[in-house]
Amino acid sequence: MGTRTALDQLRTRVVGKVTALVMAAPNRRDEFEQFPMTVVRTLAVHAHLRRITFHAPEFAWWRTSGADEYFGLLMPRGGELVMPEVERVSVRAAMARLPEAIRPDLRWYTVRALRPEEAEIDVDFVLHDGDSAHGPGSTWAAAAEVGAVAGFRACGSAYRDRPATASRLLVADETALPALSAILESAPADRVLAFVELPDESYAAPVPAGVELVFRGADRPGDHVLRAVAAAPVEDVDHAWVCGESGLATSVRRHLVGERGVDRRRIAFSGYWKVGQART
């Protein structure tokens, strides 16, 4: 288990204060659990989305910090899983000490559902056929079978619960759709505007009622959903959550702050991936 030292805690407080000036403060952990987990079920939700269910005894007591909880998935490179040493809070520093031949791949994913009574989590993986940015996470998920072992490294979440009376704006692409769906399932849907931009209709997974889908086709990520947000009544939004491709997240945030007058401290945003680079 990775525990914050006094120096880590001081750094976190400083970073937290700076972050709070420019965006909505995320949910932070004091401890970062790390343990192996085993694939117990797989499900093809649709052509581009595969749900994998993992089991680990630790999931019986582990809890998420927020609806869009994300974690580090440690994937073995063709052999047995070698977990990095639990070193303070830096999993990447610990992994760098492992020999390249046994070092696992690391990518970040959303906990789609947690079932403590069964000690299980569901994770939805977007699969991109023929995508040049097809990374090790999608490759591993496409081939994973029951019995496969991977590592779990707890991280944190960006979405904070709000009163049912609060006006919320949620914007995502296909990679952030699992997190958006989990958010909508965890809280009342009153006064919520939700938009999801997908590559095309083949990516259209079941989504909660009230979510507006837009399709970008061959256009740049973010262009179509930005137009949808620009046409929506968002001036009085109490909280905005914008996640997905890096350009999408930053352009929507820029629009909300610069053109719609939304306080930047009310906006949580994150770039899950970037065009032309491997999805991380």
**pLDDT for res 187:** 74
Question: Between residues 25 and 67, which one has the greater pLDDT?
Answer: 67
Task: Tell me whether the CATH fold assigned to 18-157 matches the one assigned to 168-273.
Answer: no
**Would you put residue 261 in left (φ > 0), alpha (ψ -120 to 50) or beta?**
left
- Encode pLDDT of 93-113 as tens digits: 888 889 998 999 999 999 999
CATH number for the domain running over 18-157: 2.40.30.10
**pLDDT for res 207:** 78
Instruction: Please say if the pLDDT value at position 212 is more than 90.
Output: yes
Burial pattern 36-67, b for ≥16 Cβ within 10 A else e, equals: ebebbebeeeeebbbbbbbbbebbeebebbbb
**pLDDT for res 130:** 54
Locate the domains of the chain by residue range. 18-157, 168-273
CATH level 3 topology of 168-273: Rossmann fold (3.40.50)
Confidence (pTM): 0.87
Band the pLDDT of 18: cuts 50, 70, 90.
Answer: very low
- Encode pLDDT of 29-44 as tens digits: 878 899 999 999 999 9
Nearest Cα residue to 188 out of 204, 171, 210 = 210
**pLDDT for res 96:** 86
Query: What value does the mean pLDDT of the chain take?
Result: 86
Q: Which helix (H) or strand (E) holds 249?
A: helix 246-258
**pLDDT for res 94:** 85
Lowest mean pLDDT among 7-11, 152-156, 239-243: 7-11
Instruction: Please say if the pLDDT value at position 249 is more than 90.
Output: yes
Band the pLDDT of 53: cuts 50, 70, 90.
Answer: very high
